[in-house]
Structures are given as C-alpha cells and as structure tokens.
Amino acid sequence: MVDNPAEEEVSSVSPLNTAGANGARRNIGPPTRVPQSAANPTRTANTRNPRPIRVPPASAGVPAAGNRPPVPRPGGPPRNPGPVRGTPRPGVRPPHVHYKPAKVSLLRRLCVPITTVVLVLASLVVIGILIKVVMDNYYYFCIKSFKFIPLDKWCDGQADCAGNEDELRCVQRVDFSNTTIVRLSDSGSILQILTSSRTWSYICSDGFNAASAKAACAEIGYSSKPTFSSVSAASLNGQFSNVQITDSEIQVVPISGTCASGSVISLSCIDCGSNHKKERIIGGQETSIENSPWQVSLQYMGQHSCGGSILTPRFILSAAHCFQKGQQQVDRWRVESGHSRLTYTFASQVDKIFIPTSYILDQKPNDIAILKLKSDLSFSAGVEPICLPGFDSNLQPGASLTVTGWGHTVEGGGAVASTLQEVIISLIPNAVCNQEYFGQITENMMCAGQLSGGKDTCQGDSGGPLVSLGPNSRIQQNGVVSWGDGCGRKNKVGVYTKVVPYLQWVTSIMKVEL
C-alpha cells in the first residue's frame, strides 16, 4: 500500500486518513504543514506537489473512499469512479476542488449511529414506563428473592416473598393495650395519672415542674413544649398524688388527703385547636385551610382518598376504612397539609399506619386510624394541630359541630371538591339516629347532620375531623368521618367514630412511637 501512489492519493483526501497519509508516509512539504492539512481536506488539494485527485478503483480496498461523493472534474460532469490512471503531470495545478468540510461528513457518518442510540434509549424509556405501570397496577417485586408476586398478595397478611418482605410496610393492627397512665380532663385540662392500684389520681402542683410536665406529656405521645398551671383542688374529690421523675419516667406518689398547696395541675401538651374563626361536603361552603389548619388530605398513589387531622407534628388521625384491601401499602400513601385547594406536590411521606385489631374490613365499628409521618410537619398558619377532647368530654344533643373535607359535594358526584369545604351540623342522639340506621350505631359512634337532609359529609370526606369548640375555648376533635346512607339524605345523617373511647388507643400508639 505504501508504495502505491494511487492509493496514497486516495488516502490523502480521506478525512479520516489524512494525517497518516500526509504526515507519516508521504514526504510532501515541510512536516509542520502536516497537522494543519490533516484536519482540512481542501488544503490537501493545494499541497506543493499537487496531483489530480483521483477516484479509487472499486477494488482498491480503501475503506472510507466508498462513502465519499465523486470528485467533480473541471469542465464536465463527474466521471464515474474508475480505475486510477497514471501519475499526474508535474507542474499542473489541480483544479480548485472544494470538498465538503470534514465536520459535515463526520456528522453524516454519525447521524445513523446517533439516531439509533436515541431511538434505542427512547424505546428503553417507553418500555421502562410500561413496566412501571404494569408493576404498579399488577405486580409487586420482591427485591431480596428477585421475584414478582401479584399485587393482591402484597400486604395480604401472608408472606409471599423471602423474609416476609411483602408484609413489612403495611397497615399494622394495634390492640387496646391501655398502656398510657396519663389523661386530661375536658374542662380545665386537669391532669390525672394512674396509680399502682389502678385508680386515677389528681396531681398536686407541689413540686411539679417543667420536667414533670414533659414526662407527663411524653406518656401520651406529645413531645412539644408543654405548658401547665395550678388550679384549685377545692371542688375535686378523689385521690391526690405528687409526682417524681425516675429515668425521665413519671411516677405517682399518692398522698393521704388533699394537696398541701390546695391546688392541682392543669396541663396542655401542645398548642392546639386555636380558634381563628367566628362558619361541598353537602350543603357546605368553601373555607380556607387557615380556618381548619389541622385538616389534611390522605392521598393514595397520588389521588385524594380520605381526610385526616393533625394531632402532633408526627401523627395524623383518620379512619380505618380508608385503608381498604389493596390499599394497605404504607409507601403508597402521602399526607398533604397546609393547602385549601387540593394539591399533590408537597405531600409528606408516611412511615406507619395503625388501625385497631378490632376493626374488621368493610365493617363499620372501630373505624379509626393513626398515621405516623416520616418527618415532622412544620407548623404554620395553615398547618396546626387539633386538640383531642378530654377523657370525660360529653357533648349535649344538638351541640354545634363543624366538619371539613374535600369530599363529593353531591351524592354520587364524580369528583372531589377542589377547595376545602366546611359545613356546620348538629349532634343527633344515637337513639334517634338508630331508628333510621336499624341499630347499627354503637356506643363508639356518634351521628351528626341535619334530619331534614342537605348538610352532610360524603365520599372523600372520610377520616376527616368533626370538631367543636371545647370548654377551654380551643377547638377539639369529637369525631372522625366514617359512614352514612348516601349523602345529605333526609333522616340519614352522617355517622362518625367517637374520639373519646379511642383516646387510650391513640395516645398509647403515639407514646410508643414517639
């Protein structure tokens, strides 16, 4: 090859071979010129010892030449590529031939591979999305055992993956263990602690300090800075005790008679239920989140599914029936807070979901749930906790209650409300409610609405808070939206899970999970 001038000639115009041909093998011109012309085929045509450009013979075996356009001949159309003929006559300048710049030619060469790569990548992305859609809707992938299982086997209570992997991040059932030894009364938020003889005792203000308050609040799952005050013990009957803190746990030291100071402790574990406000849900009206900053939206796979309420920066109260069969995968839930309009962007991730052991799927009793978030909510005007009622809270029939949510504004209405709705309803005695609901209303449920119909909660409001103004002028949550026959029908008022019977259940979970 090196000795074949024809081949050399061809090589010299091949952008890919120029350097080798000019610089290494041909001794034309000073070596310093070589690198310049190497990158520029047009320069090659003007070298000092020019020779006419020739097209390689088909059989010459020069790799890149076949891809080049035929070189134009002066004074006529380009000749068909043919065999290389003789050596050029010395002293005859070659026609001024311009080749397409190397860059264009390079681009052309790269065009096909680049397009192929782009197409392959695009197809991979599309295939990936399809696989994800299929996976999200039909399969769960067991990472450890590298196996697919049908989606309905995920969180079905039976291990289908190695190491129980498919059952690890699911809704958990928690018993009524009654582990909390602290409770607060409704009026005055008076602190009581369970003694070793299992009687509830008032706590004297004697020696009670910030550490005692912190320890008492931790017992019911609150870690915020508590506030406390002394109230007169004069009207109280029962056991009185002092407290002592051992290893940051609170312990009662019963005393005989009443407190030396004559006063007991009133405790507030969190600044909750601020009364900012002075009034579809069905028959309701739009409200803003600042009026109900404890209201949250529970979203399953990016869709509003239920309401909920903020108890602490970490814990949300809702309804057990929100976590139906097939919707028990904790990681698919998000909690959206702080927005009047339903949004899906800033949602908090969920760490754990608890429902009572006694809750039976698709049945009405014990319809309550606690969600533990992965990180603390930061409180603001639109994000605040609601107060839990005192253990002895007892609403009077006809009491005014407010309920909020993004649920349907018409029975069977296709979409949830885009802006938070609120409606004011009244407490209907269980006896009245049970006449219409054929005895399904248990002690742990309460009814609220308007017997004439038209004001009610509806699908999508479930889990949301039914609240009232408490005796301490703070808003407290009395019920959780649970069920009803249709929405807003005459004599078919909404049914709510009472919060009071579940206080121990709620606070013991918060305590353990604090």
CB 397 within 8 A of CB 451: no
DSSP string, 103-160: HHHHHHHHHHHHHHHHHHHHHHHHHHHHHHHHHHHHEEEETTTTEEEEGGGTTSSS--
Distance, in Å, from the CA atom of 131 to the CA atom of 110, rounded to the nearest integer, reads 31
Minimum CB distance to ligand ARG, residue 422 (Å): 14
Three-state secondary structure call for residue 203? strand
User: Which active-site residues does the annotation give?
Assistant: 321, 367, 462
Burial class (CB in 10 A: 0-12, 13-18, 19+), 86: exposed
Place of tokens 């607060």: 184
Minimum CB distance to ligand ARG, residue 305 (Å): 8
CB atoms within 10 A of CB 471: 15
Minimum CB distance to ligand ARG, residue 400 (Å): 17
Going edge to edge, which strands form the sheet with 249-255? Answer: 182-184, 191-194, 200-203, 239-246, 249-255
Minimum CB distance to ligand ARG, residue 238 (Å): 39
Instruction: Enumerate binding residues for ligand ARG (CB under 6 A).
Output: 407, 456-462, 481, 483-484, 487, 494
- The nearer residue to ligand ARG, 470 or 494, going by C-beta atoms, is 494
Question: Which of 413, 400, 401, 402 lies closest to 460, judged by CA?
Answer: 413
CA distances from 353 to 168, 179, 217, 315, 372 (A): 12, 19, 22, 10, 6
Q: What is the CA radius of gyration of the chain?
A: 40
- The nearer residue to ligand ARG, 213 or 416, going by C-beta atoms, is 416
Minimum CB distance to ligand ARG, residue 282 (Å): 8
- The nearer residue to ligand ARG, 262 or 486, going by C-beta atoms, is 486
376: tokens are 């603390």
- The nearer residue to ligand ARG, 335 or 481, going by C-beta atoms, is 481
Q: Which residue is nearest to ligand ARG (CB)?
A: 484
Minimum CB distance to ligand ARG, residue 447 (Å): 9
Pairing between β-strand 239-246 and β-strand 200-203 as defined by DSSP bridges: parallel
